[in-house]
Structure 1
Amino acid sequence: MNQTSPVRRAPGGRAARRLTPAVLAAVIVAGAAACDSSDTSSQGTATSTRTVSAEPAGSPSATESPRTQQDFAASVSADAERNRQKAVTTLKAVDGKGDAVGDVSVSGLPVVASEQFRSALVRVTNRSGEAAFYAVRVEFVDASGKVLDSVVLGFADVPPNRTVSQHANSRKAAGVKSFPRIAQAERG
């Protein structure tokens, strides 16, 4: 009997031989080299493929919004001012520090000599089970405890069991070593 590797006939008359792992590795490496796309030739062209699907029925057309970035900024600014005014009104009716001082924290942000305002990060944590409005008064005080400025912030619709934050900014406390503190906080 002959001890050579058997030749198997595949359907259709093709001969298939058992490949050794070394030959198989060489075939894979050669195939990968042939498919390599790192050709640095300057004569090649770049191609890309883009898939376009049909637009669903009832989809809005791709028209440009008439609202500008300035309109958006004005809208956001108007919302912030409405929240601040509501906070001012809420805090006028509060005796003392308010019922939400424990839900509010403040930390001063690093000061740069060229800045034209002093900034503090104010965080409000709503520990209740429903969304709530928070009115917060932040005071900027100097080393002797003298109040340099007072800033009121309104936090609208703070989600339950979540923490939100805003910056309190003061131009009057700019350039002076000052510290922010919570003067009043009320949940509305």
Structure 2
Amino acid sequence: MNPTSPLRYALGGRAARNLAPAVLAGVIIAGTAACGDSDTSSQGTARSIRTVSPEPAMTPSASPSSRTQQEFAASVSAATERNRQQAVKLLAGVQGRGNGAGDVSVSGLPVVTSEQFRSALVRVTNPTDKAAFYAVKVEFVDASGKVLDSVVVGFADAPPGRTVSQHANSSKAAGVKTFPRIAQAERG
């Protein structure tokens, strides 16, 4: 038989496929035997696997401490408050609806009678070619048109040609069916 014949390759491949289950069974049995050893000082298979695949030098914690989460929340709250204060200052000198009113939309979120605040989703689409700060004043009005509360939110560095969103929350309009509307929006 010619050593390069397709028949020889087919027989060799078939022989290899027949051998694979036996090799796999041997590996499983060896692994089970290594795991069953209760002596922690032995140099078994598990130890050699660590040598082949070393663990990272620094393993991140599975769950961050609550202090870290609190610090993160405080940092986010501080940044949000700074943006809000900057937005209040920007809107103080605005006459009418502002130059960014066409770039902003708002929609109310479902009301639950037991909620502690009323929330609206404010979206800003920056049509300019550079990042911009947006100051937005959202009013929460009832069915008769009476303004129950107004909230100012700030969008720092709204990217050009993209839409960003943020919630405007009112505790004064909590539990009441209100309709949010944009009172003013200024692009700074």
Q: CA deviation at 1:30?
A: 2.0
Partner of 1:76: 76
SS at match of 1:79: helix
Counterpart of 2:22 (choices 4, 20, 30) is 30
* Inter-partner Cα distance in structure 1 for 2:150 and 2:132: 23
* Inter-partner Cα distance in structure 2 for 1:125 and 1:92: 22
* Inter-partner Cα distance in structure 2 for 1:34 and 1:70: 52
* Inter-partner Cα distance in structure 1 for 2:145 and 2:69: 41
Partner of 1:13: none
Partner of 2:146: 146
* Inter-partner Cα distance in structure 1 for 2:165 and 2:84: 14
Deviations 1:41-95 (A, max 9, x none): 883679463526789xxxxxxxxxxx95544433332222221122112112111
Unaligned residue ranges in structure 1 (runs of 5+): 9-16, 56-66
Q: CA deviation at 1:29?
A: 2.3
Counterpart of 1:51 (choices 54, 67, 81) is 54
Partner of 1:111: 111
Q: 1:126 to 1:29 in 2, by over 3 A?
A: same
**Residue identity matched to 1:101:** A
Q: 1:54 to 1:117 in 2, by over 3 A?
A: closer
TM-score normalised per structure 1:
0.72
Unaligned residue ranges in structure 2 (runs of 5+): 39-44, 59-66
TM-score normalised per structure 2:
0.72
* Count of matched residue pairs: 164
Q: CA deviation at 1:35?
A: 2.8
Partner of 1:157: 157
* Inter-partner Cα distance in structure 2 for 1:128 and 1:44: 68
Aligned residues of 2:111 and 2:176 also touching (Cα < 8 A): no
Of 18-27 and 148-157, deviating more is: 18-27
Aligned residues of 2:138 and 2:168 also touching (Cα < 8 A): yes
* Inter-partner Cα distance in structure 1 for 2:180 and 2:129: 29
Aligned residues of 2:113 and 2:176 also touching (Cα < 8 A): no
Of 133-142 and 23-32, deviating more is: 23-32
When the two chains are superposed, the root-mean-square deviation of aligned CA atoms in Å is: 3.3
Instruction: Choose 1 or 2 for highest CA Rg.
Output: 1
Q: 1:149 to 1:33 in 2, by over 3 A?
A: same
* Inter-partner Cα distance in structure 2 for 1:53 and 1:159: 37
SS at match of 2:116: coil
Structure number with the higher helix fraction is 2
